Chain A
């Protein structure tokens, strides 16, 4: 079978791509097991911000991960070199590799690539270093003599992909995919395309963001995108509820081992799910605004289903973007109706951001992990804090309590600043015609 990197296939059947390893760092617990336990318990992990003194900010709540990088095995030089987002990525990538059973022996380095999503890269380190070199904003001509030697790596988030490539021994096509809050779907979609076209057999992919820093909190305050419900942090993230008034910032990471299906079968790997369809569209409307009808997200969903060769009626569960802003939740509810028709009303839809907050670029990958685990366990996670739905949000959002539900096919979506709209369809490889 003649294959060229980035080339098209000469083989008659197309290569299929499956998830064989998962690693998660999320608020509420480290590791895939703790993550799934949080979700299925319907437990919220949002709280008053502890990462820094947030007392002067409008929104002072976040989903924070209790992550101790030294306890996770990172050495002193790694701790110095890596921003928190990179630390997440490395630890989660190790979990995913171990989970896949694909240790770094026996893999061809040039057939292994990396695609990491991140919206804001090393923003905590940049914020902190800026304060040092400017002496708390005292001078425009900042003093380079106080800068860390790794500052350039923090400026340029491709360093995240390099760190993961070093962990995985990967030398194939590698990149950071940075499309704002759809980065975590788009990176996995990108990795899927690279395997399909024959540029790689294995991809370490996923997304990471650690945005809980003064500058990020300030810029979402400025546009009132985050909720000011500071007196009730555990119940502040309220997707689809009529009392919702903004999202809760989060942090975290999910990493996956993606493999070509035959590659996985040949070694007897456990397959969580197949990445059956992926599509992105732009609304070309506004950097932060959404039009209520959800037309471009609906188009992304239609194209992803088409690529998966799956009719809308086969969707068993929708993992929503569900950020908890007024406009988002209406926008995507409309998009589900446009793309799935009557089936939208018959399908459980939930937002795990109700429990872990919105970790910007990372969350799309964390939601892919939740989707794969929903298929694995036959349980769909709930939308916490949903007591009275917005009348314009009239689908089945699985309020409060997880639900046993046979799930063979999942749609997961994302929407982000810049106008990006992404959709991905996951399914069981044995339930889909080749």
Chain B
């Protein structure tokens, strides 16, 4: 009973591209989505750069009745789900209602929406709070709205593990497929680009305060100065391989071959971070060794200490410069749960096209990260069959995912 979980559709809403191919082309061309904040006046804050999804006009994509009840990031999630279903060539009306699940990851809920309602509460009183507040801000909102929009009644849920969420959700989607639910929308879309959300980001104390979008987020670089928040993410359509074949799906991007997760011990425990062990477990779960992995998509914190920890773990498993490592999120910023979902989509696109997108803007790897074979400057063409995607969230949540291209021909119809 080990059904293969294959990815048949990708839907991307990213700061450097709305739409999967738009994002992928921009990423290969090195087009950055990081720039000065435009959503609100950030002039009083010490950090003023973000990855914003630009050119997104919600009424072009979302039914009018949903606009008053949805936060910006939920609208992006609904659009990414639409893109993903279209890419998978799947019409939910023709699929079994209990056979379709939605498992998304989220970190913030709808906090821009929430800020407006908190403002009404505190300045005008409780009776001015919107009837939609009860669900528009909460963490389960994207899964709920996607399931309603597409009539998906299978086992569904929401995982919160900060940056690791996109991977944990995808791992959980595979679990549903193995238990018999053949069609799962997963991944994550996140973002909290309002002054209230920005205040929370600032409280971490890790945001880069630089003004130059090309020098603000430089993971593994000797000049690393912190990270830049972004919004968006990706929704993946994951299916049981036989189900996808029978419904006449196009060739899948790849399969979810391995997954593992863990959480770091207390900082004062004297115990090591769990990343190395989680990588090894994900490889074992995929039945692969380090030599079978063709590229690693790094978490890429952009902060010297976690960068060094990640570099050490990757080097310990793969050896010095033993595998190409990249962080195309340098073009979009860190998207919380959306980030590892987007990295997973990016890894699958890399497998499809045989090209590794580079780590943008990084030029001078830090001494502690010298063991990494970082893909810098330009895309690197390579024969790619398997990719490892890593994420480490605030609080020590750590996840690793192995995706693998499918062998052999794929019939369009049985």
Contacts and interface: CB of A to CB of B under 8 A. Distances in A.
Interface of A: 4-8, 56-58, 109-110, 113-114, 119-121, 127, 130-131, 133-134, 136-138, 140-144, 147-159, 161-162, 165-166, 169-180, 183, 186, 190, 193, 197, 199, 214-215, 217-223, 225, 279-288, 296, 299, 416-420
A222 B133 contact: yes
B122 A180 contact: no
Contacts, number: 286
13 contacts: A56-B127, A133-B196, A137-B118, A141-B40, A143-B199, A144-B202, A161-B161, A178-B138, A180-B135, A218-B121, A219-B130, A222-B127, A296-B153
A156 B106 CA distance: 9
A286 B339 CA distance: 29
Residue from B135, B172, B175 having most chain A Cβ neighbours under 10 A: B135
B207 to A, nearest CB: 11
Given A161-B263, A221-B127, A137 B122 contact: yes
B328 interface: no
A150 B203 contact: yes
B113 to A, nearest CB: 11
B319 interface: no
Contacts of B122: 130-131, 134, 136-137
B200 interface: yes
A188 to B, nearest CB: 12
B115 interface: yes
Nearest to B155: A280
Nearest to A278: B155
A5 B260 contact: yes
B153 A283 contact: yes
Given A5-B281, A158-B165, A280-B156, 4 more contacts: A137-B122, A155-B197, A175-B397, A221-B129
A8 B38 CA distance: 48
**Which of A148, A174, A285 neighbours the largest number of chain B CB atoms within 10 Å of its CB?**
A174
B41 A141 contact: yes
Interface in B116-136: 117-127, 129-131, 133-135
Contacts of A109: 265, 271
Given A162-B397, A170-B263, A180-B135, A282 B156 contact: yes
Contact of A281 (B1, B145, B154): B154
Given A174-B262, A221-B126, A284-B150, A151 B199 contact: yes
A56 B396 contact: no
A152 B394 contact: yes
Interface in B245-285: 259-266, 269, 271, 274, 277, 281-282, 284-285
B285 A130 contact: no
Nearest to A148: B203
B320 interface: no
Given A7-B285, A152-B204, A222-B131, A176 B159 contact: yes
Contacts of B40: 140-141
Given A137-B122, A158-B107, A287 B135 contact: yes
A132 to B, nearest CB: 10
A193 B175 contact: yes
Contacts of B281: 4-5
B15 to A, nearest CB: 20
B297 interface: no
Given A152-B201, A282-B102, A215 B129 contact: yes
B203 A151 contact: yes
Interface string B146-168: 01101111111111111001001
B118 A127 contact: yes
Contact of A175 (B134, B159, B260): B159
Contact of A119 (B118, B140, B152, B397): B140
Contacts of B107: 155-156, 158
What are the 4 closest A-B residue pairs judged by CB atoms, nearest first?
Answer: A418-B144, A137-B122, A137-B123, A218-B126
Contacts of B141: 287, 418
Contacts of A284: 97, 147-148, 150-153
A26 B60 CA distance: 47
B263 A287 contact: no
Max chain B C-beta neighbours (<10 A), residue from A5, A114, A215, A417: A5
Given A5-B260, A137-B119, A217 B41 contact: no
A412 to B, nearest CB: 17
Q: Looking at B1, B133, B393, which has the most chain A CB atoms within 10 Å of its CB? A: B133
B45 interface: yes
Chain A CB within 10 Å, residue with most, of B115, B152, B262, B285: B262
A113 to B, nearest CB: 8
A152 to B, nearest CB: 5
Given A133-B196, A215-B121, A281-B155, A165 B263 contact: yes
A220 B134 contact: yes
B161 A158 contact: yes
B158 A177 contact: yes
Contact of B161 (A174, A296, A420): A174
B118 to A, nearest CB: 5
A222 B134 contact: yes
A197 B174 CA distance: 12
B32 interface: no
Given A149-B205, A284-B153, A155 B111 contact: yes
